[in-house]
Structure 1
Amino acid sequence: MIVSWVRTHGRSRAIAEELSIKAIFLSEATARRSFPTKYLFAAIETVREIRRERPSSVILMLPPFPLLVLVRVCFPRLPVIADLHTGAFLNPKWRPFLKPTFALLREGSCIVTNSALQQQCNRAGVEAIVLHDPLPERMPEPGGRPFAHKPAVVLCPLGYANDEPIDELLFAAGHLVADEIEFRFTGKAPLSIRQAAPTNVLFTGYLTDEDYEAELANCDVVIALTTREHTMQRAGYEAMTAAKPQVTSDFEVLRDFHADAAIYVDPSDPQAISEAVTRALRDADALAGFARTRFEEVRADQSVAIDELRRVVKSAEARAPFGGRRTPSLRGKR
């Protein structure tokens, strides 16, 4: 079982599919609640699901730190593997809880997206493996509109988190109003951002998985920017899978992963972002080709990382078996 305290999450769903385990997300009602009530109802739902499923082990998407505390307190014998996102290390909201996180994982293991974070875990005495978001077995069939239409569409998948350069994106969009380039911001945007947006920015609001896939299929460029080093964005994986040109942050981990399949910019420079969008539209065919090539390269290496994750899960279960187990352990993906 993998538990994520969000409405849905592509990485968690992909890991669950690869391991043939159940993915647990927040109900729609709980996801809409505000803090701290949201965490209270999330805790109730999580405890109920674990008691009902009685899994052999559990993977927790972290942050938030309270999810780890809840499982350790309520199910002390349940083996835990943490999928530690960059926010656990660098987000000012969650960074103070990093040492307690490592302490609670001392008998467990964790998953990270790059070697720099793996080394930090290892120094803290916690076993860690590197796993990028699992890609599907094949790329979807080409769809959506041709690149030659007007206005061009730039998709900006956003959560309005503190590592997303929202102001810079708004300024960059403003630079391109006259070029008939439309920016589509996903997610629930705060009122202040909506009021500050130039006329070529549209806000989609919350999207279902199906609606988001349609947005991705019909865009010309994806922007996946972060101001936080060592961060891999889900939108970047999705852009590669869809063979979409993308603009992303000029950080080493992103260059190493995406190689020639992206254009890299300083996320604090609106002018550089707007110029990168123009270049991505101009070089769309070449970037799409690089994305297809890189997709195949990543897929070729992915099975090794998935096998390592299976080993980690089985090892955790062997060290701390959960009495009364009903849910089968890892089943090979068929």
Structure 2
Amino acid sequence: MKKKQNRMWITWENQRRNRSLSEKTGFILNELISDRGRILRYFLLSFRTYSLIRSNNPSVVVCQNPSVVLVIVCALLKSFFGYKFIVDCHNSGLYPKEGRYNILNRIAIFVNSHADAVIVSNEMLKEDFKHLFKSILVIPDPLPNREHFYDNELGSPIKERRWRSDPRVKFLYVCSWAEDEPYEEVLNAFIDISESKVSCYVTGDFHRKVAEIPENENIIFTGFLSDTDYHDLIISCDAMIVLTRRNDCLTCGAYEALAECKPSIFSDTAIMRNTFGTGFLYSEPFKEDILKNVLLLAEDVSVFYPRIVESRNEFQVNFQKNLVKFEDEVSR
């Protein structure tokens, strides 16, 4: 969408969702970043936010939550500059610290309630919070593509991308080694596979989480990958695994799998099923269920493609409908 000068999207961190959604909605993205200590960073970024809004006098401001401090600053400045104020809460802006602390959840609701509208990532969150805010809009993450949503970093030489020459059925396990990810269950599932026709490429920095790397020919730890190598691995793999123990989480890897129509194993939660549809396999975060689905995909991944293509088309149609609703809200 063509960007409009009187529309501003403000964030205090680098995040793909901000870049992709601001582009899709025609907002000018302002990434205000500082590496100073917390208190000084809040002060500097608050002043830069004020200066930015004062010099541009926008009619609409969208800001990301988190940061709660950014939302407070934009809410206060709205009183002086009179713009329409929208907060993109996605998921974590409604459940800070993964919702573990009730007082933080209440603070988030109070702060977000000062916006004219709140953006969430799915219909289930809208149902949960619709009685608390003036208006709630549903916009999931746009599907990523190589041209817009991955940095153009230099990748490894082709000969070093070992997945290119791997003749086995290649699984990509998208893992950040976070507490909510059942990585031990996934690794144990592949350790239990005796067949040599299957391999699993595991992303992320595993050193702090895995004391002893399992010596298994089925498992390859990639370590940190550049965007170029990571996207190449997505394209080259036969199937993907993206799992979390969180019931309210839409994972970036699932969007990437849908974008490339990769047969995948996702978490068996209502939010994942409702967002990504049929064609994918959904698993509990336990070795037995993961192993069952891995073997099912390994038999013949091609049978899953047609329904995944349909799911991607349905996602794109619904995404455009949600953008129309967003534009209606912004234009009021």
Query: Normalization by structure 2: what TM-score?
Result: 0.76
Match for 2:25 among 12, 19, 23?
19
Q: Which has more radius of gyration?
A: 2
* Partners of 1:86 and 1:36 in 2: CA distance: 25
Structure with larger RCO (C-alpha < 8 A, sep 6+): 1
* Partners of 1:177 and 1:73 in 2: CA distance: 61
CA drift of 1:100 comes to 2.5
Q: Residue 109 of structure 1 corresponds to which residue in structure 2? A: 117
Q: How does 1:262-281 map to 2 (within 5 A)?
A: 262-267=280-285, 269-281=286-298
Q: Residue 85 of structure 2 corresponds to which residue in structure 1? A: 80
Match for 1:203 among 222, 226, 229?
222
Match for 2:209 among 190, 193, 199?
193
Match for 2:313 among 296, 301, 312?
296
CA drift of 1:182 comes to 2.5
Query: Normalization by structure 1: what TM-score?
Result: 0.76
* Number of residues of Structure 1 aligned to a counterpart in Structure 2: 304
CA drift of 1:130 comes to 1.8
Q: Residue 64 of structure 1 corresponds to which residue in structure 2? A: 67
CA shift in 2, pair 1:198/1:176, >3 Å: farther
Q: How does 1:244-259 map to 2 (within 5 A)?
A: 244-259=262-277
* Partners of 1:36 and 1:183 in 2: CA distance: 40
Contact conserved, 1:65 with 1:97, CA < 8 A, in 2?
no
Is 1:166 paired with 2:183?
A: yes
Q: Residue 175 of structure 1 corresponds to which residue in structure 2? A: 192
CA shift in 2, pair 1:60/1:212, >3 Å: farther
Is 1:213 paired with 2:216?
A: no
* Partners of 1:192 and 1:16 in 2: CA distance: 35
Structure 2, unmatched stretches of 5+, are: 1-7, 149-160
* Partners of 2:269 and 2:110 in 1: CA distance: 29
Contact conserved, 1:114 with 1:230, CA < 8 A, in 2?
no
Q: Residue 173 of structure 2 corresponds to which residue in structure 1? A: 156
Residue identity opposite 2:182 in structure 1: P
Q: Tell me the percent identity.
A: 20
Contact conserved, 1:155 with 1:184, CA < 8 A, in 2?
yes
